[in-house]
């Protein structure tokens, strides 16, 4: 396949006019217009490209397929439904809107139920042939804080436990990439981090930790923060909390939900300046109502009301994930929050790929990587999704 007449997103966060050559589902090369003009000017031979399929991008932006490393479901299905059919439908929807790789999140459920869910996901990955690639799992519970449980079921919360964590890793056959903890909930949290940090990324999730506790966890080897600002203490000038600890630990990557509901645009802009755009990861945190009509749904066994893109618990009105997919979150970040388009693309592609340890195969339009590319017009409307070198 040859995709011509496009503005190609590069690894140095710029767009350059060029064309993309795909062979056998892999990016074979990218020919930039400036390089071709220079070669022609020097009298060098620039070979014509003869391909089976030629796509005229009509000046569109060509960006890598997006990667959502924290979401729960869409189109009526939830990852924790624990069936291959649910994962398959989720993967199909995500690919259709330009999210070509996924790492769904679990909820705080009984340990045995979580083990079964992870086993199903591992089996699905062996058999999957279409839809977004399942490249990880983000465990949001059960090692969290009752004080910041959000839409998680408090009855299933337990302290962090290395043996239980190993069961999760074994059940998933390596798919679990993040395990969230609330470090203030166990005297053994630092020991847990030190034991598990070389086996899985440890994140701070649904935690009421103060600055010192969070900083100690990061110093011990935790390297990820789940949906910054949400389900954690507020960031203030005398009590900077988890957010302040993330700011002071340059090895920590931070998720952020830019759906226009969870965080004020001014706070989003300030966070990018404070943390540095290289550490920010756009996520959707979407639940099963995403892509569905308004109504009542469930998340982790709890009832949720959805009106527009706002999802709240029926019980107490707390935010319960989002009803916005990652592509729309990226558009919102650019169009309504003032985040540069080039930055937003990196935070939805390159940064999550690196955080997942999958940058060798995903996250950029680079020779040798999987040929997942999305074409957007000047208004960021979706024009085409190409997955493994095939048009969806």
What is the C-alpha to C-alpha distance for residues 70 and 86, in angstroms, rounded to an integer? 16
- Which is nearest to 160 in space by CA: 205, 198, 192, 138? 192
- Cα 271–chain centre separation: 18
Residue 81 is classified by DSSP as: G
| Residue 274, CA atoms < 13 Å, CB-side half-sphere | 18
- 285 catalytic residue (yes or no): yes
- Cα 39–chain centre separation: 39
Q: Which residue is catalytic, options 78, 259, 285, 328?
A: 285
Kindly state the tokens that stand for 25: 């589902």
What is the C-alpha to C-alpha distance for residues 306 and 30, in angstroms, rounded to an integer? 43
The backbone torsions φ and ψ at residue 153, rounded to the nearest 5 degrees and listed phi first, read -85, 110
Beta carbons within 8 Å of 285's beta carbon, 6+ residues apart: 70, 71, 72, 105, 227, 257, 259, 262, 321, 322
Let me know: does 371 contact 25? Beta carbons within 8 Å. Answer: yes
Residues β-bridged to residue 23: 26
Let me know: does 368 contact 26? Beta carbons within 8 Å. Answer: yes
Kindly state the tokens that stand for 213: 């506790």
Helices (H) and strands (E) in the chain, counts: 11, 24
| Exposed / middle / buried, residue 164 (Cβ in 10 Å: 0-12, 13-18, 19+) | middle
What is the C-alpha to C-alpha distance for residues 331 and 88, in angstroms, rounded to an integer? 25
- Which is nearest to 235 in space by CA: 214, 261, 260? 214
Residue 365 is classified by DSSP as: -
CA torsion angle 148 203 142 113 (round to 10): 140
Active site residues: 285
């Amino acid at each position: 396949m040859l995709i011509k007449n496009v503005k190609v997103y590069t690894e140095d966060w710029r767009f350059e006019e060029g064309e993309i050559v795909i062979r056998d589902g892999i990016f074979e090369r990218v020919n930039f217009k400036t390089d071709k003009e220079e070669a022609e000017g020097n009298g060098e031979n620039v070979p014509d490209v003869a391909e089976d399929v030629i796509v005229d991008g009509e000046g569109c932006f060509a960006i890598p397929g997006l990667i959502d490393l924290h979401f729960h479901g869409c189109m009526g299905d939830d990852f924790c439904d624990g069936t291959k059919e649910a994962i398959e439908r989720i993967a199909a929807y995500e690919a259709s809107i330009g999210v070509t790789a996924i790492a769904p999140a679990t909820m705080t459920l009984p340990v045995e139920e979580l083990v079964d869910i992870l086993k199903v996901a591992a089996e699905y990955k062996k058999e999957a042939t279409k839809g977004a690639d399942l490249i990880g799992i983000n465990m949001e519970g059960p090692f969290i804080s009752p004080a910041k449980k959000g839409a998680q079921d408090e009855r299933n919360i337990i302290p962090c436990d290395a043996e239980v964590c190993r069961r999760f890793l074994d059940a998933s056959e390596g798919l679990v990439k993040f395990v969230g903890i609330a470090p203030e909930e166990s005297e053994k949290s630092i020991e847990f981090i030190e034991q598990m940090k070389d086996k899985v990324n440890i994140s701070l999730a649904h935690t009421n930790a103060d600055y010192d506790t969070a900083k100690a966890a990061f110093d011990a080897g935790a390297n990820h923060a789940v949906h910054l600002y949400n389900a954690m203490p507020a960031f203030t000038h005398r009590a900077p909390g988890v957010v302040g600890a993330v700011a002071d630990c340059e090895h920590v990557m931070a998720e952020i939900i830019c759906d226009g509901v969870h965080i004020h645009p001014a706070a989003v802009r300030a966070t990018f300046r404070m943390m540095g755009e290289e550490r920010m990861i756009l996520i959707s945190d979407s639940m099963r109502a995403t892509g569905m009509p308004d109504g009542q749904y469930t998340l982790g066994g709890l009832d949720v009301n959805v009106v527009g893109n706002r999802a709240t618990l029926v019980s107490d009105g707390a935010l319960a994930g989002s009803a916005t997919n990652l592509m729309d979150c990226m558009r919102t970040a650019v169009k309504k929050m003032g985040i540069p388009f080039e930055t937003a693309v990196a935070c939805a592609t390159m940064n999550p790929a690196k955080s997942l340890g999958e940058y060798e195969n995903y996250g950029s339009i680079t020779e040798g990587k999987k040929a997942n590319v999305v074409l957007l017009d000047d208004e960021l409307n979706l024009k085409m999704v190409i997955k493994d070198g095939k048009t969806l």
